[in-house]
């Protein structure tokens, strides 16, 4: 049995070879001829953060590229032509940012999905990716997170470290993450602080949760059934007059 599409609209736009911006609650995907050329999400650091915070590019170098090439939708090309980045490293960084943002942009939502034809992104095209590849990678990442720790509450809660057990070891990457966790920063905020992709930060946090090295938020308690709020009645049949008085009293205080 075939798997349902993450975004049926994205599949349709790919088949149409559409060009424009697919806007969703958690981010935007930019398409050229039906292929994804860029993605951004408030939940994921942009390619600028990955390059500058990661130490590969000075902030002033990024700002100059945006100032000089943004209006021409050629920031990526400018970074290479000016010698600031090599083709390969720009491609790897940009693809990582695209898949990272797309993962969040394509997360389940109840809000509207819209497409604005002809809209492009100022960064420009580096390496187009098929919509099928983006959907496939999004599903793979969801399954990986759930396989590591199937409780998504840790994804948005502040990361609060817990002491390691005697003899328990932590990898270097996770040690850096724990050192930056001050009990207030969420995984998304830590990703920006460290210049790391947000998905990989979530994955590290879930691994730490599975190892008992970060606090795990409790699931909210289920609300009691409506009848629990009613006064106990001495007989099986409801006292209609009492219920009406209760209703009137509640309405009088609204």
Band the pLDDT of 231: cuts 50, 70, 90. Answer: very low
Q: What is the pLDDT of residues 63-81, one digit of tens each?
A: 999 999 999 999 999 999 9
Band the pLDDT of 54: cuts 50, 70, 90. Answer: confident
Where do the H-state alpha helices sit in 54-186? 59-69, 75-81, 87-105, 131-148, 172-180
| Domain end point (choices 111, 142, 173) | 142
- The answer to whether residue 230 is domain-embedded is no
Beta bridge partners of 130: 35
Same domain, 48 and 158: no
Q: Which domain holds residue 63?
A: 8-142
Angle (deg, nearest 10), helices 187-194 and 172-180: 110
Has residue 251 got a pLDDT over 70? no
Out of 101-105, 130-134, 248-252, pick the least confident.
248-252
Same domain, 85 and 172: no
Residues 6+ apart with CB under 8 A from 218: none
How far, in Å, CA of 80 to CA of 93, rounded?
Answer: 13
Same domain, 166 and 40: no
* Cβ(57)–Cβ(85) below 8 Å: yes
Same domain, 130 and 186: no
Same domain, 16 and 133: yes
Domains in the chain, number: 2
- The answer to whether residue 61 is domain-embedded is yes
pTM above 0.85, yes or no: no
Same domain, 20 and 102: yes
- The answer to whether residue 60 is domain-embedded is yes
């Amino acid at each position: 049995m075939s798997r349902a599409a993450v975004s049926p609209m994205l599949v349709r736009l790919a088949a149409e070879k559409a060009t424009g911006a697919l806007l969703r609650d958690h981010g935007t995907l930019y398409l050229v001829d039906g292929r994804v050329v860029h993605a951004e999400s408030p939940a994921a650091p942009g390619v600028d953060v990955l390059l500058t915070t990661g130490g590969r590019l000075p902030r002033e170098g990024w700002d100059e590229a945006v100032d000089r090439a943004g209006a021409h939708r050629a920031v990526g090309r400018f970074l290479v032509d000016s010698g600031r980045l090599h083709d390969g490293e720009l491609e790897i960084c940009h693809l990582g940012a695209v898949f990272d943002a797309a993962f969040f942009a394509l997360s389940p939502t109840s809000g509207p999905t819209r497409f604005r034809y002809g809209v492009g992104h100022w960064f420009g095209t580096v390496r187009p990716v098929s919509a099928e590849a983006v959907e496939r990678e999004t599903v793979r990442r969801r399954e990986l997170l759930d396989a590591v720790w199937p409780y998504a509450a840790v994804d948005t809660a502040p990361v609060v470290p817990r002491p390691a057990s005697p003899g328990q070891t932590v990898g270097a990457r996770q040690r850096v993450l724990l050192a930056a966790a001050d009990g207030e920063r969420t995984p998304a905020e830590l990703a920006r602080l460290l210049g790391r992709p947000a998905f990989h930060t979530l994955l590290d946090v879930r691994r730490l949760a599975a190892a008992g090295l970060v606090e795990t938020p409790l699931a909210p308690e289920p609300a009691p059934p409506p009848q629990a709020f009613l006064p106990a009645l001495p007989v099986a049949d409801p006292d209609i007059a009492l219920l009406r008085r209760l209703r009137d009293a509640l309405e009088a205080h609204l």
